[in-house]
Structure 1
Amino acid sequence: MENFGFQILQALITDLDPDQRVKQAMNEINSSKRLKEAIAEQAEGAKILQVKSAEAEAESKYLSGVGVAKQRRAIVDGLRGSIVDFSSGVEGTSAKDVMDLLLLSQYFDMLKDTAGDPNCKTVFIPSSKSLGDETRNALLQAESGK
């Protein structure tokens, strides 16, 4: 336009219309970027879920262990009290007699629970030794194996 005395410094383009193939290619590029970001976010979400699940399971196992420890402590305290009460209440008995009685009562409780379970597949084999001796020996062997 300079030949006619006009100089164009700027031009405002309001309607750019590239070829249809160019538009489709640009849309595919944009779509691929968005899909790639979505997949990354989805994987990150799955990772967070897995980590949180593992943390919850670890906390659950810890609390279960604390509960078992408290239960065992209560059992030991109860047994200690029973032994002291029984030994002082019945003359001529020792702590060993009380422990034998407790083991025997636990044995009968286990038999009752096992017999009451219709799905039980347990077989009991009689022995020539006394139950208290067998149980005590088994406990001592288990303790020495640790």
Structure 2
Amino acid sequence: MSTAFIIFLVLAFFIFMSSFFTVKQQSSVIIERFGKFQSVRNSGLQLKIPMVDRLAGRVNLKIQQLDVIIETKTRDNVFIKMKVSVQFKVIQDKVYEAFYKLEYPHDQITSYVFDVVRAEVPKLKLDDVFERKDDIAVAVKRELNEAMSAYGYDIINTLVTDIDPDIQVKNAMNRINAADREKTAAEFEAESSRIRIVAKAKAEAESKRLQGQGIADQRREIARGLVESVEVLNKVGINSQEASALIVVTQHYDTLQSIGSDANSNLILLPNSPQAGSDMLNNMVASFTASNQVGEMMKKNNKKIEKPKQTPRQSGYEDDIQPDVQQ
């Protein structure tokens, strides 16, 4: 076998092997013949004419993501940086458009995102940008779908993933938030103090009421006990005056005894002579007598009797009639 024949076999083998190629899953291959588009080959083992057909390029059919960072300003003149994530893929039926009509798809998508964001954000205030970021993402997706579908691209989703104001603006917002929370805390503390004061006042009022009721009950029981004591003494032949004297003297000496039994007591009962009980009783009797006399005089003064009115004289005029009140 000659050397030339061996070389021919080797070349034929390589040419035969170059006729076959494989396409991976979720991708497509563009075949050109003499520089002209021939066909689109999908995943699997494919065949081409050696030295005639060539692989012009591969197109990825998977979902891709492009992150676009845009610097713009809001309606209240606050500069912010926004990060918009665009998820897109090539439509399998439009591989030709995606490969031949658009050379740099990422740059094209970035330009559209810049255009939409810088048209929407200046209409909003800073707080509204945070609240309506979903509306901005929807506007970006709508604009991209209208523009990129002609190039064979499908926009799956758009997300506003970050809104970053200037550092000074963020510090101011944090101070405003902190001041607002401090104000709320102060209001809650004031309300808590008010509740405590009201509760304390109610408790003191209730305590005073119960204390007064207790004193009234105590005095009522003391009076009832005195009445019972007088009735018991009257039954054994002691009249009311003598019974009162006996009760006063007994209470006087009981008080002196309780003071003497307590070494730390600062209470002094004046007077404390042996005649103190008798003097106290005499004073009480004199006071009761004087009070009764004053009461009788007031009753007599209140019983004023008016004299009957006189008839007018027949002289042609009437005298003024003055009531004669007997003093």
Does the pair score TM above 0.5? Answer: yes
**CA–CA distance in 2 between the matches of 1:28 and 1:40?**
18
Q: 1:68 is matched with which residue: 215, 234, 244?
A: 215
Structure 1 residue 44 and structure 2 residue 188: aligned? no
Structure 1 residue 24 and structure 2 residue 171: aligned? yes
Which residue is equivalent to 2:224? Answer: 77
Query: Residue by residue, what CA displacement relative to the aligned partner does 1:9-28 show, whole Å, maximum 9, x if unpaired?
Result: 82363311111111111011
Q: CA 1:19–1:63 in structure 2 vs 1: closer, same or farther (change >3 Å)?
A: same
Q: 2:279 is matched with which residue: 129, 133, 136?
A: 133
Q: Which residues of structure 1 form unaligned runs of 5+? A: none
1:128: how far off? Answer: 9.1
Which residue is equivalent to 2:180? Answer: 33
Runs of 4+ in 1 over 6 A off after TM superposition: none
Q: 1:117 is matched with which residue: 251, 262, 283?
A: 262
1:136: how far off? Answer: 5.8
Q: Which residues of structure 2 form unaligned runs of 5+? A: 1-107, 121-138, 141-158, 292-327
Amino acid at match of 1:17: D
**CA–CA distance in 2 between the matches of 1:85 and 1:62?**
34
**CA–CA distance in 2 between the matches of 1:138 and 1:103?**
10
SS of the equivalent of 2:161 reads coil
1:127: how far off? Answer: 5.8
Q: CA 1:130–1:31 in structure 2 vs 1: closer, same or farther (change >3 Å)?
A: closer
**CA–CA distance in 1 between the matches of 2:182 and 2:276?**
73
SS of the equivalent of 1:15 reads strand
Structure 1 residue 100 and structure 2 residue 245: aligned? yes
Which residue is equivalent to 1:86? Answer: 233
1:102: how far off? Answer: 0.6
Amino acid at match of 1:87: N
Query: Residue by residue, what CA displacement relative to the aligned partner does 1:55-77 show, whole Å, maximum 9, x if unpaired?
Result: 01110110111111111111111
The percentage of counterpart residues that share the same residue type is: 35
Cα RMSD after superposing both structures? 3.0
Amino acid at match of 1:104: V
Structure with the bigger percentage of strand:
2
Largest Rg, 1 or 2: 2
1:103: how far off? Answer: 0.6
**CA–CA distance in 2 between the matches of 1:27 and 1:61?**
50
Q: CA 1:15–1:117 in structure 2 vs 1: closer, same or farther (change >3 Å)?
A: same
**CA–CA distance in 2 between the matches of 1:137 and 1:107?**
14
Query: Residue by residue, what CA displacement relative to the aligned partner does 1:109-146 show, whole Å, maximum 9, x if unpaired?
Result: 110111122123437555696523325636949xx8xx
Query: Residue by residue, what CA displacement relative to the aligned partner does 1:1-59 show, whole Å, maximum 9, x if unpaired?
Result: 9xx99x84823633111111111110110010010110111011011101111101110
Q: Given the two structures, how large is their TM-score scaled by the length of structure 1?
A: 0.78
Structure with the bigger percentage of helix:
1
Q: Given the two structures, how large is their TM-score scaled by the length of structure 2?
A: 0.37
**CA–CA distance in 2 between the matches of 1:39 and 1:136?**
67
